[in-house]
Amino acid sequence: MSTKYILGIDGGSQSSKVVIFDTEGRAICEATEELVPLHTPRPGVAEHPDDDLYDSIVKAARRAVESLPGKAADIIGVGLCTIRCCRALVKKDGTLAAPVQSWMDLRLSRPYEHTDDEVAFVTTSSGYLMGRLTGSFTDTAANYIGPWPMDVGTWDWFTDKETFDSFNIPKEMLFKLQMPGEIGGFVNEEFAEATGLPLGLPVIHTANDKATEALGAGLRDERQGLVSLGTYIAAMVVGGDFVKDAQSYFTNFACEPNRYVYESAGIRRGMWTVSWLKNLVGFEIGVAAASQGLSKEEHLNQVASLVPAGCEGLMCVLDWLASPTQPHKKGMFIGFDERHGYAHMYRSILEGIAFRMKQNVAAMESDLEIELEKLVLSGGGSYSDLMAQIFADVFNIPVLRNQVRNAAGLGAAICVAVACGVYPSFDSATDGMVQVADETQPNPDLTELYGQLGEVYTDISAQTDVILERTFSILTRSTKEPTNQPIN
């Protein structure tokens, strides 16, 4: 029998990734298409230009299919996972009436305003893309986090009319809801011709990107947590109950019907900060990397590994994108002296990420009355051996990294495997498709040091917020407009 394949789509904030897996979860080939920078014409507006989310998936899927060593006819299904908390305004024919609003767009914090008669549907990024790939106006219930008339406890629209109407989206403008692991439609002629995929291939619903990533990382119970090291960094554990009024985390849909992901507070513009540093001192880093025959990332990890833990007093506060509720927040480095260079800055970013996430995860553990035994790292930042060691030392528990670091793509493939009958359940599919690559143990010589430095890190914002609030107030009065305009 010929090998069967599954195509997983992971539409992210900075790129669209398409990976073709076999039914045991091995990545056979993949392709990535970078997204165009967000369009930010005025404060509070952040849009994906033109039809970039769809176009980037088409380009990545075409290259992935072209590089497949087997036959495209042996692909059994497509799993669709996209970024959450976006709003797509769609015409009757399924095309966009306006650019997709990013999760960073402040309009997402307000009810929908109907100002364009061309808009026939208001949906998420996953609903819009399912429509484009298949012509079917269905969407996964598990991507309706945020400004939607969705009852997270029932996985359906609010039945209370007053609550439903407060979101200002008529029911006829919403797509039909389905569950993760269900077939949402079948590859249409346009998408088949553009990518080389077979016409009529089933396209399977997943969930929001973080929940799909949790599934692909192998989370099955509360003994193991996940830190997703992407543009937005979040920590997650899974559970079976909807918790409405949690203090230090929120309940998200899981990528499995009627289960949930508990998600801690996160870091906006998390791994983006590394890209910022590379752009800031890119020439110097590039020259040094080229002289050693290394990539910029390999060079940074190499030189930062030589920097002592604690970066000789340099700490990085990861607030490069302020939230709407705390617009005064700013990213910062504190503790510079003449010893510090970009290697210290890079390591301090990694340590700052670990300190912040340890703080967030500890609060979530306390509220859930659990204690994590192991931690999985996924996303782009997980490729750094230094990052894995820092997390193991800061958290003082073993850190796992799986063979497939693009966990959202694998989570999408797991949904396909269940929907198409390759595995009878999500448990068996996860067991069969998620493979551990390595395990990093804590360094006993550093765990105490990081514990003490973590306490200092926790206190920094309490000391600096007063200064930042004063500065923000002065500049806001001066410019008469918010100063935290998103910049991609």
> What residues does each domain of the chain span?
5-211
Q: What is the pLDDT of residue 488?
A: 38
Superfamily designation of domain 5-211: ATPase, nucleotide binding domain (3.30.420.40)
Q: What is the pLDDT of residue 1?
A: 67
Please, where are the H alpha helices in 382-443? Answer: 385-395, 407-419, 426-433
Token pair of 395 as six digits:
């958290």
Strand partners, 156: 151
For 132, the 3-state DSSP assignment is: helix
CB 320 within 8 A of CB 269: yes
Q: Which of 228, 269, 349 is nearest to 14 (CA)?
A: 269
Angle, to 10 degrees, between the axis of helix 342-368 and the axis of helix 272-280?
170
Long-range contacts formed by 23-26: CB under 8 A, 24+ apart: 23/417, 23/422, 23/432, 23/433, 24/432, 24/433, 25/403, 25/404, 25/410, 25/413, 25/414, 25/432, 25/433, 25/434, 25/435, 26/403, 26/435
Residue showing tokens 């007063």:
466
Q: What is the pLDDT of residue 336?
A: 97
In terms of DSSP bridges, do strands 100-101 and 47-48 run parallel, antiparallel, or are they unpaired?
antiparallel
**Residue 360 CB partners (closer than 8 Å, separation 6+):** 235, 248, 264, 265, 266
Rounded distance, CA 233 to CA 236, Å? Answer: 10
**Residue 401 CB partners (closer than 8 Å, separation 6+):** 376, 377, 378, 382, 388, 436, 437, 438, 439, 440
The counts of H helices and E strands in the chain are: 13, 23
CB 151 within 8 A of CB 158: yes
Residue showing tokens 């705390």:
326
pTM: 0.87
How many residues are there in the chain? 488
In terms of DSSP bridges, do strands 5-11 and 436-440 run parallel, antiparallel, or are they unpaired?
unpaired
Identify the segments of the chain with pLDDT beneath 50: 482-488
Residue 420 CA to its chain's centroid (Å)? 26
- CA torsion angle for 162, 167, 170, 174 (degrees, to 10)? -130
**Based on the number of CB atoms within 10 Å of its own CB, is 445 exposed (0-12), middle (13-18) or buried (19 or more)?**
exposed
- CA distances to 45, 51, 122, 193, 488 from 101, rounded to whole Å, are 8, 11, 11, 28, 13
**Residue 279 CB partners (closer than 8 Å, separation 6+):** none
- CA torsion angle for 427, 428, 433, 435 (degrees, to 10)? 70
